[in-house]
A and B are shown apart, each in its own frame.
Chain A
Amino acid sequence: MKKLLIASLTFFSSLCAADIAVIAHPATVDVSLDEVSRIYMGRAGSLMPVNLPEGHALRDQFEQEALGRSPAQMKAYWSRLVFTGKGRPPVEVDSVQAKIEFVASTPNSLGYVPASEVTDQVRVIATIAN
């Protein structure tokens, strides 16, 4: 029964996988999705990425769709950089709302949010459609 419930929830949530909007401070120029992925992997220092907490469904979806990696793979990836002084993971905020506020008030920052929750405080620079 429990398994069935989990299975149906998974099915339901995959049906509901929302479009993701990559947002930036209004003064930021457009960047490609490739560049966004590079920034979130710590390979390009041009903009400051903002993340959601571990285990957040939208973060898992973004990492899978934009970076092509599961949460465990991302954790392993960052553990290769964190312990060697070669990089540090993006800063984290607690919620989508907090992220929009952070990006709106921080020049050169960017984040990802559900496309339906974008406000006019920020600019959409790319969209991951589902």
Chain B
Amino acid sequence: MVSKIKQLSLGVLLACTASAAHADIRFNGFASIQGGSTLSSSDRLYGYDNEINFKNESLFALQTQADLGDRLSVTAQLMGRGSNDFNAEFEWAYLTYELTNQTRINAGRLRTPFYRYSDFMDVGYAYDWARVPSSVYNLDFNNLEGVSLVRFGQLGTVDSSLQFIVGSYNGTTNITPAPADLSIERVAGLTWELTQGNLSARLAYLTGKLTMVDQDGQLTGLLDMLSESGFADTASQISIDDARSTFMGLALGYDDGSMVFSGEVVRARVSNSVIPTQNGFYLSAGYRVNSFTPFVSFERRDNDSKAEIYQALAEGNPFKGAVAGLVEDFSIKRDTWNLGSRYDFHPSAALKVQFSSQKDKVADRRDQLLTVGIDLVF
């Protein structure tokens, strides 16, 4: 399915660029080269271990936009991530039609607008941190295939940007303990961003129907056994099958040119499934001094497992242990402190150094990481 879409997107792009010989075609790109290592041999964080690694978070992207005239344009972004051996994939591929100066429709493969920085989370140059705060930016399915309508406007002195989006997603995810095939059907969402002077606020609300099937079959096997043994109720409380899901996010920002504050809080729910309510927030403060922007941020992720699922089973039930183990795998409590600085040493490039220290309260461990990287736009 995914590769079909890739071929389709490429086809559309080539067809459009080839036939529109007089189209105004522009190229832009961005890149991040980031190296890092944890501070001790047992620490593991964000894909790093105690060996210096320059591949994990590095990426290159090239974007082309062809203006076909009469308010129609086509955009494709090809990105290669170090974590995927720099194999290039279409991250975005969409058509844009400008209905009016203030309203545009995008159709194709789009970024799902969960978070304030969703649209440019891969463009490290666009923000001060080494990476977006993972306690909040934790969903690993960031794109969808669909249609979005964006409307810009003004309410008095407040600038408003309203986005409606519908679509669907098929792919894989690691948000479950084991990799799983994931589909989200009937995604519908609304985001509203308001800016006045130095202040900005953003609201997001999305819904969809979530289905997940674990690739190693352990979960599916357990569910089958539960159903066959007369515990179909328990199985249905665990299974993630066409589950109604909602996502809510609120972000606030302040930037007066020297002081930079931002914060974001998110909550996601997947009803009638083993996935508990997902809670996360971060707060970040920075101060620009000439070309340097030192910052400090705090993040928290707090997911209480749905213990009631296994607590309802009688003592001595042969499945109780397995169900409890599965349910508790979804319990996540982590606090992270980040300390770092951005240095704009070149008109198109920024150097970033960041130290992160994460306390995992479920596993009772602390992992510490130091990364140094360069982000470019061109």
Contact = CB atoms under 8 A, between A and B. Distances in A.
Contact of B347 (A44, A69, A71, A79): A71
Contacts of A38: 159
A84 B119 contact: yes
Given A79-B120, A83-B28, 14 more contacts: A44-B154, A45-B101, A68-B257, A71-B347, A72-B344, A72-B347, A75-B347, A79-B377, A83-B63, A83-B119, A83-B122, A85-B75, A85-B106, A86-B161
Contacts of A88: 65
Contacts of B122: 83
Interface in B190-219: 195
Interface string A67-84: 011111101100110111
By size class, the interface of chain B is 35 or more
Contacts of A34: 157
A84 B350 contact: no
Interface in A54-76: 54-55, 68-73, 75-76
A79 B125 contact: yes
A5 B75 CA distance: 46
10 contacts: A46-B101, A68-B257, A72-B291, A75-B347, A75-B348, A79-B125, A79-B377, A80-B126, A83-B28, A85-B106
A54 B348 CA distance: 10
B77 interface: yes
Given A68-B257, A69-B257, A83 B123 contact: yes
A8 to B, nearest CB: 19
Nearest 3 interchain pairs by C-beta: A45-B101, A84-B119, A72-B344
Contacts, number: 63
B150 interface: yes
Interface in B81-127: 92, 94, 96, 101-102, 104, 106, 111, 119-120, 122-123, 125-127
Interface of B: 28, 30, 61, 63, 65, 75, 77, 92, 94, 96, 101-102, 104, 106, 111, 119-120, 122-123, 125-127, 150, 152, 154, 157, 159, 161, 195, 257, 291, 344, 347-348, 350, 377
B296 to A, nearest CB: 19
Contacts of A84: 111, 119-120
B102 A86 contact: no
Nearest to B197: A68
A73 B152 contact: no
B101 A79 contact: no
Nearest to B95: A85
A44 B102 CA distance: 8
Nearest to B157: A34
B152 A83 contact: no
A46 B102 CA distance: 9
A80 B347 contact: no
Given A45-B101, A55-B347, A83 B30 contact: yes
A56 B300 CA distance: 44
Contacts of B106: 85
B50 to A, nearest CB: 33
A32 B94 CA distance: 35
Nearest to A71: B347
A79 B154 contact: no
A78 to B, nearest CB: 9
Nearest to B113: A84
A28 to B, nearest CB: 16
Nearest to A55: B347
B25 to A, nearest CB: 13
Nearest to B110: A85
A118 B120 CA distance: 39
B31 to A, nearest CB: 12
